Chain A
Amino acid sequence: MSIFTEDIVNFRSVLQLAYNFLAGRDYLKKKKFQERKKLISVALPFSDLVFASGAVPVFPIRMEQFKVHSYLTALNSATNLIGWNLTTKLLSFVRKFDVLKILDTVLDDVIHTINDKYNELYDLGIDHGISSDFCYGITGLTGMFVSKGKNLDANINFTIRCSAWNKYSETLKQFVPRQIWVDIPPRNIDNALELLTDNVSQAISDLEEITGNIVSDNSLNKQFRIGNQIKRFYKTILYEFSASDFYPCNPATFSEILALLGLSYQDYNSDNQRYLESFSYLVKEMRERINKGIGMDVSDMPRILLTPVFGGWEPESHEILYELGARTIYADWEILNLLEEISVSKNSNPVEEYAKFLLNATTRGIGYDQEALTDSYIETAKALNVDGLVFNQVFGCHSISNCYSLLRRKIRNKLEIPTTVINFNKIGDNVEQVKTRLGAFMEMF
């Protein structure tokens, strides 16, 4: 009974995060039709302005209908009624599952559910006419707009170095007539920050016009404070827990949690406050679990940074690495400098602070050239103190995936850790090759 209770009490935050991700459709319907909120799509973690305007940011896959694991549904309806406390009814329901594996099973199911949907939407993107030469991410996103774009009131686009991304963003007006653009100067020279600040102000005016709300310095700072706290929690998981010799769960499940965080971080599951609460619970729960010695000793398992995954990756990879004796870390947003805090100090101008955040992310994280991008990989790998790096080369990505030869050279010279490359085209397409590659890679340890 004690393990039973621990398994439900602990990690309820992850399950809640998962539930909120999957049950987005109903939540968004309620926001749109009952609360008359405007739905604004975002991709990549750029949701701050939308939240500050009182609109609802949506990473578009969340408008889809997902199959939600019955455990999650039951847990959610029970908690809606009685909070997160356990009831006899809930316990008797939960008893039907293999409680020791409940988190592993449910999370695994969640990740597979999301990925199945991704593949379905990728196919829709191809049917819509996107050439299969483009990256999985852009094709999948196009499919999301084909499928549910009509439900959106607007779309917010940020220009980045990836030309396919910018061109893809241009195509979105065929699905969502109202487009908001934030043009980020390609590099930080002279008064580029001032120009970006003005572009951000323009985007804010567009949001005000769409929502009918005023975006004040207070509303921006309030959002940044929430965002900063989330970022701190996210970093705690990446830097503290992922580096720990003792994990609060099975390392493959830990990777799944990181994957779920990576996905949901783009729109905070459309509710910043709720997301912050879940994140804060998550950190608390992980810490408690580690302190109580519940989980797994992973001290002899090398830590592998697998990146980039935001444009699509083979989700079996962390299972494969786990079976080969390693633990997998997903940290794209950190590499791309998208977990940097935004200053909310008293005399700061929040619009300018947001512009600083964007400029830093695009010039240092995403990088205005391959040198900057690969430096960011090296810095993060060093800071995370990982034992190896697996580079996920996404077919059709001309912006990030093609920096591998430069990155490999830098890793050899500066980090001296094993590295390998795996190729990704579509989920499930290449699992055997990934297994072989990772098998050979793990022999280096």
Chain B
Amino acid sequence: MDNIELLESYNSYLQEQKANGKKIIAYLTHDNVPIELFEAAGFVPLPLIFAGKDELMDASHSYLPPSTCSYAQSCIGYFSSTPRTHEFLDLADYILLSNHCVSNICVSEILSNNFNRKRLDFYVSYTRNSNALKYYKLELKHLQKEIEGITKERIPDHRIKEEIIRHNNFKTIVEQVSKLNIPGSEKLDIYQKAILYGPAIQAEIEEIISSYKSNTKNTNSTHPKNVIFTGCSIFINDYLMDLIEDAGGNIVLFDTWIGRNYYSQTFSEEVIASLNDPIDLLTKRFENNVYGDHCVPDSLDNKIVFLENYVNEYHKKYGDKIGVINHIIKFCDHFSLFQSYFKEKLQERGVQVLNLERDYSRSIKGQLSTRIEAFMEMI
């Protein structure tokens, strides 16, 4: 299914949900969102995971200076530019404002104020110390109350827990995709779709997995340039994946929000059984999110250690020394600032890194392609 088809079917899905009286909550924030809480209340989460382009970025400039990350700019463009490319965004009733990064705050606020979407706030502490966990809990309870105020119905604990379990199972299935011997682009399509729909498409993903499991084709041999992809996510409709594969690259691990950071945030059965209060479970997930880029002061170091280990394990298993593409959306506070430190630290450990910084303009495509090709030749 290509992206047009995906978006069309998503449009129908949301229309259907809306027709059934469901409320839709759109959000930019990349991590730590308690989607289960929304679903338990009968809301439909709408993650804004769509890539940008020149027109969309331009359309944001009456709200934000051009030195804002191009993803954030494009999110405004999706709501403000005409003709609308993603009409289903009009179906969103609410915007979740969260502080994953400050651009998330600003854009959510702009969308809420200028495009007439009610705003729900969900702030997350900047560390994961014990008080930060308590604070996370406060915010969860606050959000729960706000949602209950809208629906005029209490969300029973068991409903939240059911959703947590449902999402947990779903993520475990999605994780299996990461182990399939298929090209990175196909994995990415599945991850993007999984985040868009959530457990509603579990059966479909299970089917895909079983069909691929019988596939014995070795992707590694047809794409010898295996790489890990980290940094900012690849959003729907981005051409970047094509550039990487056209240059002979194959992504074996998406170490990004759309990818490992999504499917790896699961609980063991013991943990689920041991924590009765669903709010405690959601808090536990935040506590365990050691690689999430929202928090300081250790997430980067944790990531570096993880990547080094992954590269070494991979080397032991397949004999290949894989490189790392660090994708940086221009003006991203989280990944741009660190880029030279990140590269230096991994290179000291013998891992080759390409810092690939870009915006969503068409004009940059040729340059990206050249840089990716040069990197592929190097590894």
Contacts and interface: CB of A to CB of B under 8 A. Distances in A.
B69 A171 contact: no
B337 interface: yes
Contacts of B298: 170
Interface string A138-157: 10000000000000000001
A227 interface: no
Interface in B295-328: 296-300
B82 interface: no
Nearest to A403: B106
Nearest to A396: B67
A187 B129 contact: no
B102 A161 contact: yes
Interface in B62-77: 62-65, 67-69
Contact of B142 (A131, A190, A403): A190
B330 A368 contact: no
A133 B336 contact: yes
A183 B337 contact: no
B138 A405 contact: no
Contact of A131 (B109, B127, B339): B339
A185 to B, nearest CB: 5
A131 B337 contact: yes
B337 A134 contact: yes
A129 B139 contact: no
Contacts of B102: 161-164, 398-399
Interface residues of B, number: 50
B336 A187 contact: no
A401 B331 CA distance: 14
B338 interface: yes
Given A163-B101, A189-B138, A368 B106 contact: no
B349 interface: no
Contacts of A395: 67
Interface stretch (B118-126, B164-172, B362-370): B118-126
Interface in B275-302: 296-300
B134 A195 contact: yes
Interface in A178-195: 179, 181, 183-187, 189-192, 195
A398 B124 contact: no
B256 interface: no
A171 B134 CA distance: 26
A198 B131 contact: yes
A195 B331 contact: no
A131 to B, nearest CB: 5
Contacts of A164: 102, 333, 337
A161 B99 CA distance: 8
A212 B339 CA distance: 37
A179 B298 CA distance: 12
A199 B131 contact: yes
Contacts of A368: 99, 105, 123
A109 interface: no
A183 B99 CA distance: 14
Interface string B129-157: 10110110011011000000000000000
A168 B102 CA distance: 14
A143 to B, nearest CB: 14
A394 to B, nearest CB: 9
A173 interface: yes
A291 interface: no
Given A131-B339, A167-B333, A405 B62 contact: yes
A174 interface: yes
B296 A159 contact: yes
Contacts of A169: 296-297
Contacts of B125: 159, 183, 185-186
Contacts of B296: 157, 159, 166-167, 169-170, 181
B198 to A, nearest CB: 26
B97 A369 contact: yes
Contacts of B299: 170
A244 interface: no
Contact of B126 (A133, A134, A183, A195): A183
Given A128-B340, A183-B126, A191-B138, A167 B331 contact: no
Nearest to A421: B65
B334 interface: yes
A393 interface: yes
A396 B99 CA distance: 18
B131 to A, nearest CB: 4
Lowest 8 A-B CB distances belong to which pairs? A129-B340, A186-B123, A159-B126, A163-B101, A163-B333, A195-B131, A170-B296, A183-B127
10 contacts: A131-B336, A163-B333, A183-B127, A186-B126, A368-B123, A398-B68, A398-B106, A398-B331, A402-B65, A402-B106
